Structure 1
Amino acid sequence: MRREKNKEFTKNLLIEAAMELFKKQEYQKTTIEEIVRAAGVSKPTFFAYFKSKEQILYEFDLQQLKTFEFTMKSQLNNHDDLLINLRKAIVYMADNLHTTSMITQNMLHLLTINEDYKRLLSDMFVMFQTVTKEIIDYGQQHKIVIMDITSEEIATDIVNIYVGSLVTWVISNGAASLEVHMGNTLDHFLSAINIKIK
């Protein structure tokens, strides 16, 4: 048990060290040597947990997605605020993943040059869509979401809004905060399909 906790601690230490470096400098310029130095571990320790820097990004994404899933599934009985909480959870996830426009720009660039990262991120968006679809399904079953389009279509639209918001945020050099930018876009979408938000 203690050994597993130590392994989780070391893994999280490496993720946190890497993400702090990615915030300050370009992803491509960040070396594994810098990451292990910042985390206070050895290079072999890094490779015991991760194959590459890309995998660190994926693991960080996965942590945020698990938080999103846990948050939303724990809110399912809260009918009055289900959709408000969905919006909040999506924005919170985006804000935690994309703390600076530089990190987001680096992630988008990485998608164009690294097939492994592209595949990992594609898997991530499938998971995001699946969780979102489950929430919308629940909303439809309990008459919280009332519309003529399927939960799968709504979930796809929400994922597209998420990605599109990131791209436009990077293009604007983070002129507005991501929280405001994505929150407003989600509000417009939810209003347009007649989902009532308080």
Structure 2
Amino acid sequence: MRREKNKEFTRNLLIKSAMELFKKQEYQKTTIEEITKAAGVSKPTFFAYFKSKEQILYEFDQQQLKTFEVTMKSQVNNHNNLLINLRKAIVYMAANLHTSSMITQNMMHLLTINEDYKRLLSDTFVMFQAVTKEIIDYGQHHKIVTMDITSEEIATDIVNIYLGSLVNWVISNGSESLVCRMGDTLDHFLSAITIKN
């Protein structure tokens, strides 16, 4: 039990150390040696947990997606605040994943040059869309969300809003808060699909 906790601690320490470095400098220029030095572990220890730097980004994405999933599944019986909490969970996930426009820019660049990372991130967005669709299905079943559009189309639109907000934020060099940019766009969209009583 204690050994498992130590493993989890080391794994999270490597992720945290890497993400701090990625926030400050270009992903491509960050070496595994710098990550292990920041974490206070050896290079063999790094490879005991991760195959590459890309896997760290993927693991971090997965942690945030899991938090989103748990948060949203706990809201399924909360009729009054379902869409408000969906918005909060999406914005929270974005804010934790994209703590600087440099990290987001690095992720986007990596998508263009690394097929493994592209595949992993694609899987992440499939899961994000599936969880969102499940919430929208629930909202439609309980007459919270319009039935004029399928839950799959709505979930796809929400994923596209997420991605579009990120691209727009990177292009503007993070001049506006990502939380505000994404939150405002989601507010408009969610308001349009909400059934008014």
1:146-172 deviation digits (Å, cap 9, x = unpaired): 231111110011001100100000001
Name the % identity: 87
Aligned counterpart, 2:11: 11
Scaled by the length of structure 1, the TM-score of the pair is 0.96
Distance 1:6 1:138 in 2: 39
1:71-127 deviation digits (Å, cap 9, x = unpaired): 111111111001000000000000000000011011001100110110000000000
Aligned residues: 196
Q: Which consecutive unaligned segments of at least 5 residues does structure 1 have?
A: none
SS of residue paired to 2:164 = helix
Aligned counterpart, 2:90: 90
Is residue 192 from structure 1 mapped to residue 192 from structure 2 by the alignment?
Answer: yes
Distance 2:60 2:195 in 1: 31
Aligned counterpart, 1:43: 43
| Paired residues of 1:15 and 1:60 also in contact (CA < 8 A) | yes
Q: CA RMSD in A?
A: 1.0
Distance 1:191 1:139 in 2: 13
| Paired residues of 2:144 and 2:194 also in contact (CA < 8 A) | no
- What is the CA-CA distance between 1:192 and the residue it aligns to? 2.8
Q: Which consecutive unaligned segments of at least 5 residues does structure 2 have?
A: none
- What is the CA-CA distance between 1:29 and the residue it aligns to? 0.5
Is residue 100 from structure 1 mapped to residue 105 from structure 2 by the alignment?
Answer: no
| Paired residues of 1:101 and 1:169 also in contact (CA < 8 A) | yes
Distance 1:7 1:153 in 2: 41
- What is the CA-CA distance between 1:7 and the residue it aligns to? 0.9
User: 1:182 and 1:77, CA in 2 relative to 1: closer, same or farther beyond 3 A?
Assistant: same
Which one-letter code corresponds to 1:40 in the other structure? G
Scaled by the length of structure 2, the TM-score of the pair is 0.97
SS of residue paired to 2:80 = helix
